[in-house]
Chains A and B, each alone.
Chain A
Amino acid sequence: MEPILKIDHLKKIYHNRQGETLAVEDFSYEMEEGEFVSIVGPSGCGKSTILSILCGLEVKSDGKINIRDNVKLGYMLQQDGLFPWRTILDNCLLGLELQHQLTEENKEYVLHLLETYGLKDFINSYPSSLSGGMRQRVALIRTLATKPDILLLDEPFSALDYQTRLAVSDDVFRIIKGEKKSAIMVTHDLSEAISMSDKVIVLSKRPATIKNIYPIIMTNQSTPIENRKCKEFASYYDKIWKDLDFHV
């Protein structure tokens, strides 16, 4: 089957007064439908740049990006970015509103998502009354509302404390799999990447190039929290850690 997303020799150069910085070089990847891919790499290596380019927030310098016809992208950021003056429901409807797709049917879908993922009682609350984990779930539903086929997750859990982070990553995983979406997640947390993904892409230091791609195969593949207990987990962690070549 044709890949849902094909990135070919992507290149990105940043310019400023001091000079130019090569952020991403020669990044190629073919993504299958329904795949959950994580991108890990040293901080500041240009991981997020790739996502920004994919969803059109930044312009690539060179290379090709082929997205299969009628495939939509949805972007989720580290900060939930919820608007404090909008209720939870209105926050979730933001994307539909901006794209002039605020039909009854789409609204039903959003309500259904909110209900399914335990936010039904809060639809008329304002974001200030929600916990960090709940806000992040709202942010995901806001992204899902426009029915994207591929989700781009940019360090979606970094702003959360450790326990919430585990719980929410489990939730988000369940939601993404439940809605049968593909996803690309950028993270600096190796265990998060290994426990959630089908494949982990390891990037080098800036300029980011692909160092290795690991298909993650666990004996008892299940939810992210359970996956952490699998015996293969440690060996993947070890390999990727060595790839990152981290020196203090």
Chain B
Amino acid sequence: MFSLEHQNYLKKIRREKWFVLICQVAIIVIFLIVWQLLADFKLINTFIFSSPKDVLDTIINLHNTNNFYQHIWITVYETIVSFTMGTLLGCVIATILWWNKILYRICDPYLTILNSLPKVALGPIIIIWSGAGMKSIILMALFISVIITIINVYQGFMEVDATKIKLMQSLGATKRQIYLKLMVPSSIGNFISALKINVSMSLIGVIMGEFLVSKEGIGYLIMYGSQVFNLDLVITGIFILCIVATIMYYLVCYVEKKLIKYD
């Protein structure tokens, strides 16, 4: 059994935890209530600002039409594909650049240019080249996520403790062994943060692509809604997007916990 002081300490920690959670829930609840009240008392124009009730109605409506989940699935699918490809390709390229320092120096300015270029500017070209379809959307999202992955993963390699590399060399490690047994495990942290950034980057790319291609997906719902001035649909789209983004983010956090078991 713990001392009284320690019990109080534990109690305090628990109380703080609950306080934070309650505040978090309260914010969203109050926000929704205020929004609904403002709409009910006609203090805001629901045609422009919509209301929680209208959003709920829209969701139920969409649920009853059969292609609602199709739209969500399309967006999720495009995100997963571009996220996976972006991550893999980014890691491979970062590895090649680490392996060959000269190549890195040659490519460095181009990477910087590509990184600072707003990729949405390439949207029209990508659509012309590969058609107004899913291929363009995935390509665009891939393009956004791959550059940032290369930079993050490479950065992770650069941050590896130089004495550990020296140690590996003194034990007679080959470059391949240094890569597999030191670089990869020690840049797991950077890899994970690259994944986290990548989830949102891919989603940005996909939504952007869907805005431009405008055929299907959550991005399309939002775009379509705004064009026919159905703000209920727009806000519903954003709401669903929030949920999708959050779920994907927490999936990455779950992977993080699985991968890092020391400390």
Contacts and interface: CB of A to CB of B under 8 A. Distances in A.
Interface of A: 55-57, 74-75, 77-79, 81, 83-85, 94-95, 97-99, 126, 128, 146
A83 B186 contact: yes
B169 interface: yes
Interface stretch (B78-86, B92-100, B126-134, B158-166): B158-166
Contacts of A83: 164, 182, 185-186
A85 B185 contact: yes
Interface residues of B, number: 21
A128 B260 CA distance: 13
B170 A128 contact: no
A77 B166 contact: yes
Given A57-B166, A98-B173, A84 B161 contact: no
Given A98-B177, A98-B181, A81 B262 contact: no
A99 B185 contact: no
Closest 3 CB pairs of A and B: A75-B170, A95-B171, A81-B167
A94 B170 contact: no
Contacts of B174: 98
A85 B171 contact: no
Contacts of A74: 170
A230 B262 CA distance: 46
B262 to A, nearest CB: 5
B171 A126 contact: no
A148 B260 CA distance: 33
A27 to B, nearest CB: 20
Contact of B262 (A56, A75, A84, A99): A84
B172 A81 contact: no
B168 A128 contact: no
Nearest to A139: B167
Contact of B263 (A77, A95, A128, A146): A128
Contacts of B260: 85
Contacts of B172: 95, 98-99
A62 to B, nearest CB: 22
Interface string B136-175: 0000000000000000000000000101101111111110
